[in-house]
Each structure stands twice: as C-alpha cells, then as structure tokens.
C-alpha cells in the first residue's frame, strides 16, 4: 500500500514527545503513562497516527544515546501496540528496528538517512513508510546562521536527492513522504518563503508532511523577536496555508483543532 492510500490528504499526525526538553511540550509526556494517555486522546480527536519521539531536536538540543531513546519510547510503544497507528521519530537504526517490531508504521527521520548508515536497511527490510526531512546543519547549531541562495529550490533538490538515495537503498518510492523541515536551519523569512513556495516541494510527486505546529517562527512573526514557540491560532493558519499548497500530513500538537480547521479547508477545496 502506498503512503497516500494509507494516509490520505489531509491526515493529522499527533506529536508525543517522550522527552524532558522538547521545545513546546517537553516534560508533558515524559512519563510513559502520560504519553500513552496523550496518544489515545489524540486518536479520539481524529489523529490518523501519532509520532512518538524520545529525542528532542529543538534548536540547541544535545543528542541522546540509543539506550536512553529506547528506554523512553519502548514502554509507550508496547502499551499502544495494535491500538494506535504509530510513527517513530528517530534517526537511529536500532530504535527504528525495535519500534517497527512493536508495530510502528512510519519512520520519521529528521536527518533524511544521513544520521545512521544502518537506518535505510532497517526501513528497506520492513514494510514501514519513511519521512525524509530537510535540515541545514544539526540541531545544536542549526539556527546560528542559516544561509541559502534560494531556499525553496535548495530544499527541493535536497529532498529529491535523498529520495533517490532511499530508493537506491531499496525503499519503494510509494512508501516515501517528504518534509521541508520548517525551523530546521531556517530563519523566519526563509520558513515563510518555503511555506509560500510549498508547491515546489509538492511538485516532486510525493506526499508532503509539514511540521509547523507551535514553531517559533509563528511567535516571531507576531512581533516577539525572542519567542520560542508560536500560538495555536498561528499554527492553524499555517496548517491551512500548507494544505492550500498541497500538503498531505500535518504533524501537530493540538490535534482536535487541526482536524477541525483542515476539515473546513478540505470542504472548501
């Protein structure tokens, strides 16, 4: 089955960060039982799947070991197994392998198969879907001075290359979706230009996943130059703009509100 058949446009992906330090919900779901309850609630609210992550990738964050990531996510995945459709937000082959064994359907790799040389093989030898995301630099330093000649065309050509790499590694194209990586090595202006020109990413021919929810660019465009997050209202506007430009999967913290907004956008469309 292709990813667009499994997750038709628009599909909402709820975010469950089993971390102490994620940028907007750090600590909220750090206890496994809280993460499980959040995931179940998100599905009740209309999420098509839930993205479980054990490592923050917020600007400035440090990476964690595979052992620590497994310690965080495995109890959550065990509990949700067979009940909630799961995406695993990881760049580590070992974590992806265990998550797939526990039923994860999608591997969400913010490094687009550049982080762990074994990850492509793990995905290829499973039936999991894969999200390839653009990032300039690495989380610890990516917001220091992101530079592009032309952000939209550079992100598009990066994603096309990473898709070719994934296909060459044995991952069928129909299982791949692409993500421009809002906030990952991009200024406020670059993020908004990328959103305006999202059609250029959609034109690559694969479903596009967007993560705009609560991102700091949304808070900054509202006038606070120091904002570290953006409000729900701005997240909804950004999601609808992305939908209008062809996005398929929406990675969000506030599921009910996004499902409602996107249902209206889809009815107009």
How far is Cα 75 from Cα 94, in angstroms, rounded to an integer? 15
Name which position in 11, 29, 38, 57 contacts ligand HH2 (CB under 6 A): 57
Minimum distance between the CB of residue 118 and ligand HH2, rounded to whole angstroms?
20
Taking contact as CB under 6 A, which single stretch among the options 20-28, 63-71, 113-121, 194-202 is the one that binds ligand HH2?
20-28
Residue 192 near ligand HH2 by CB under 6 A:
no
Minimum distance between the CB of residue 248 and ligand HH2, rounded to whole angstroms?
12
Binding mask 97-136 for ligand HH2 (x = CB under 6 A): -----------x-x--------------------x-x---
Strand-pairing partners, residue 51, are 15, 87
Binding positions for ligand HH2, 233-262, rule CB under 6 A: 251
The alpha carbon of residue 75 and the mean position of all alpha carbons in its chain are separated, in whole angstroms, by: 21
What are all long-range contacts of 184-189, with beta carbons under 8 Å and residues at least 24 apart?
A: 184/57, 184/110, 184/133, 184/134, 184/135, 184/136, 184/139, 184/142, 185/135, 185/136, 185/137, 185/142, 185/143, 185/146, 186/136, 186/146, 186/151, 186/217, 187/146, 188/217, 188/220, 188/221
Residue 56 near ligand HH2 by CB under 6 A:
yes
Name which position in 11, 24, 90, 248 contacts ligand HH2 (CB under 6 A): 24
Nearer to ligand HH2, 30 or 148 (CB): 30
Minimum distance between the CB of residue 54 and ligand HH2, rounded to whole angstroms?
9
Q: Which two tokens stand for residue 182?
A: 């809002």
Residue 53 near ligand HH2 by CB under 6 A:
yes
> Catalytic residue numbers?
215, 251
DSSP 8-state secondary structure symbol assigned to residue 208: B
DSSP 8-state secondary structure symbol assigned to residue 175: G
Minimum distance between the CB of residue 147 and ligand HH2, rounded to whole angstroms?
20
How far is Cα 250 from Cα 151, in angstroms, rounded to an integer? 21
Minimum distance between the CB of residue 249 and ligand HH2, rounded to whole angstroms?
9
Nearer to ligand HH2, 131 or 259 (CB): 131
Is the CB of residue 214 less than 8 Å from the CB of residue 250?
no
Task: Give kind and range of the element (H or E) at residue 145.
Answer: none
Nearer to ligand HH2, 97 or 216 (CB): 216
The footprint of ligand HH2 on this chain (CB under 6 A) covers a number of residues equal to 21
Residue 236 CB partners (closer than 8 Å, separation 6+): 257, 258, 261
Length in residues, the chain: 269
Residue 182 near ligand HH2 by CB under 6 A:
yes
What is the binding site for ligand HH2 (CB under 6 A)? 15, 17, 19, 22-24, 53, 56-58, 89, 108, 110, 131, 133, 179, 181-182, 209, 211, 251
């Amino acid at each position: 089955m292709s990813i667009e058949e499994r997750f038709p446009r628009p599909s909402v992906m709820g975010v469950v960060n089993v971390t102490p330090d994620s940028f907007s919900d750090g600590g909220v779901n750090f206890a496994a039982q809280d993460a499980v309850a959040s995931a179940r609630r998100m599905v009740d609210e209309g999420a098509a799947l839930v993205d479980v992550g054990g490592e923050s990738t917020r600007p400035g964050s440090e990476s964690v070991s595979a052992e620590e990531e497994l310690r965080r996510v495995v109890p959550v995945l065990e509990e949700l197994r067979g009940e909630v459709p799961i995406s695993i937000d990881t760049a580590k082959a070992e974590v992806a392998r265990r998550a797939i064994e526990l039923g994860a359907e999608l591997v969400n790799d913010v490094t687009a198969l550049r982080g762990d040389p074994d990850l492509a093989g793990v995905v290829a030898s499973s039936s999991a879907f894969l999200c390839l995301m653009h990032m300039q630099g690495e989380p610890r330093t990516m917001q220091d001075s992101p530079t592009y000649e032309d952000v939209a065309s550079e992100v598009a050509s990066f994603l096309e290359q990473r898709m070719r790499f994934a296909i060459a590694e044995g991952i069928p194209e129909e299982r791949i979706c692409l993500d421009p990586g809002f906030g990952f090595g991009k200024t406020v202006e670059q993020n908004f230009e990328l959103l305006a020109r999202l059609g250029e990413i959609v034109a690559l021919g694969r479903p596009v996943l967007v993560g705009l929810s609560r991102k700091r660019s949304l808070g900054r465009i509202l006038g606070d130059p120091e904002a570290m997050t953006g409000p729900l209202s701005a997240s909804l506007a950004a999601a609808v703009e992305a939908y209008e430009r062809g996005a398929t999967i929406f990675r969000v913290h506030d599921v009910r509100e996004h499902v409602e907004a996107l249902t209206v956008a889809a009815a107009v469309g």
